[in-house]
A and B are shown apart, each in its own frame.
Chain A
Amino acid sequence: MLRRLITTAVLAAAVLGPVTGPGQAEDRFITVASTTSTQDSGLFGYILPIFEAKTGIKVKVVAQGTGQALDTGRRGDADVVFVHARAAELKFLEEGFSTKRSPVMYNDFIVVGPKSDPAGIAGSKDVAAALKTIAEKKIPFVSRGDKSGTHMAELALWKVAGLDLAAIRGEWYREIGQGMGATLNTAGAMLGYALSDRATWIAFKNKGDLAIAVEGDKRLFNQYGVMLVNPAKFPAVKVADGQAFIDWLISADGQKVISEYKIDGQQLFFPNANDPNA
């Protein structure tokens, strides 16, 4: 029986097909380390099939926070990194893990919170003042706490507000170390505020009692950039196919496809590959 069970298991595995590793004949693919916002918003689900149909290159996306995605690139485990934290991207370049960064698109961050608005900041366009109020009133604030692009943006905003987070943080400031969606779920559950990228927010399906509290401050700008991992550091990097993906993203065609991705008629990402300052 035991032998039979083992035989069955092995047979089943054989019938189901061998476990495919990379490098198999039909596979022409690149690995892209990217952010949870590009995946959770559905952007990749929309643009990647179009890119694949055009080029025959499959794109395997590992969705992580920006910090983690850059680290994946630093270990040579991805061919391309597609993230949103300009300062961290420039550091990546400086360290020699890539030789060129191309801006791709932008959207913006928003502060979401309970509809009851315990901090009284709803409708504000001043994110610095809003954060100050949240801190003063010690209203729960849920932070990504995962070195993601959104987390880095949040930390920068506390500084902009003139607050020393290390000094003022208390029980009201809750770092959960998880992705954007999980952070929104948590904020909804504990009736707290959170910083979110707009794309994930629009695509998020469990909004419950949450609503946008602060938006429209130009300090909430959120730029995405793409980089090829330096093949001089990691010879396994798929230079031609990775570059083809980057070239397509910033081409007129790719930019148009990005602008066409909408949920309920709302555009989620705004292409700006031609902006030299982005």
Chain B
Amino acid sequence: MFGTFSLFDSAFVAIVLLSLKVTLTAVGCAGLVGLPLGAALALGRFPGRPVIIVIVNAFMGLPPVVAGLAVFLLLSRSGPLGGFGLLFSPAAMVVAQFSLVLPIIIALTRQTIEDLWGEYRDQLTSMGAGPLRAIPTLIWDARFSLVTGLLAGLGRAFAEVGAILIVGGNIAGFTRTMTTAIALETSKGDLPLALGLGAVLMALTLAINGLALAVSRLGARFAG
């Protein structure tokens, strides 16, 4: 698990699995939180709503190093959540990626649901469904569009290096992912290995997106 490794040995497989594990967990959690929040933001009417929308939209562009630094300061032993001892662990990386992905999912969900609500408002209201009760129906109806939001989040998390490098520490065999391994091998001057890792990362990203498209097409056909 230490030092140099070649493509396709067990240390390398562990790195790929960790990347997938951290990213999928972060995006899964962000989806569970972000979809309802986004829908609520689309339908709710409360003071300060435009401000929140602007903030959420702005946070879509949150620089990963800033997110990483914030999570780092929170989780450090000297920080408010230091007692959990989570810094330099995969859990810390999940928290960092969660904070990067959540705004994307909330913002895209809000936009999608708001458009859909505009279209079906009269119909749903006449059926006696107020905005709150319409949320599950609207999320279900918009499911294919919302997948795009999840994929955007997945892409951001999977390709990200700034935040997880800070909070994970790039520890061999523990918090080393595809992207942090690429950064490390580049700095060690092993450019062929870094490039090889980059190619694998690209291939995986393509595969995930292809799979998502296939699933979504298949789903559309059966649902249609």
Contacts and interface: CB of A to CB of B under 8 A. Distances in A.
Contact of A21 (B32, B82, B86, B172): B86
Contacts of A234: 77
Given A13-B24, A13-B28, A63-B170, A20 B188 contact: no
B215 interface: yes
Given A1-B144, A46-B3, A6 B189 contact: no
A265 interface: no
A20 to B, nearest CB: 6
Contacts of B116: none
Contacts of A77: 76-78, 87-88
Nearest to A201: B189
B127 interface: no
Interface string B18-32: 001110110110011
Interface residues of B, number: 52
Instruction: Assign chain A's interface to a size class.
Output: 35 or more
B126 interface: no
Interface in A2-37: 2-6, 9-10, 12-13, 16-17, 19-23, 31, 36
B174 interface: yes
A205 interface: yes
Interface SS of chain B: helix, strand, loop or mixed?
helix
A181 interface: yes
B74 interface: no
A45 B90 contact: no
A76 interface: yes
B154 to A, nearest CB: 9
A1 B189 contact: no
Interface in B38-72: none
A174 interface: no
A48 B3 CA distance: 10
Contact of A179 (B2, B90, B187): B187
B171 A60 contact: yes
Given A62-B170, A77-B77, A234-B77, A19 B21 contact: yes
A234 B77 CA distance: 8
A176 B37 CA distance: 42
Contacts of B24: 9, 12-13, 16
B147 A5 contact: yes
Given A5-B147, A12-B24, A76 B82 contact: yes
A63 B181 CA distance: 13
Contacts of B219: 1, 4
Contacts of B22: 19
Interface in A148-184: 178-182, 184
B76 A75 contact: yes
Interface in B130-146: 139-140, 143-144, 146
Contacts of B82: 76
Contacts of A22: 85-86, 89
26 contacts: A1-B215, A1-B216, A1-B219, A2-B139, A4-B219, A5-B215, A6-B31, A16-B21, A19-B22, A19-B94, A20-B89, A22-B86, A40-B188, A44-B3, A44-B172, A45-B2, A63-B170, A75-B76, A76-B78, A76-B82, A77-B78, A204-B189, A205-B188, A206-B191, A207-B189, A234-B77
Given A2-B35, A2-B144, A182-B186, 20 more contacts: A1-B216, A1-B220, A2-B143, A5-B212, A10-B28, A16-B17, A17-B21, A19-B22, A20-B90, A21-B84, A23-B85, A31-B88, A45-B2, A45-B172, A75-B78, A76-B76, A180-B187, A182-B187, A185-B189, A236-B85
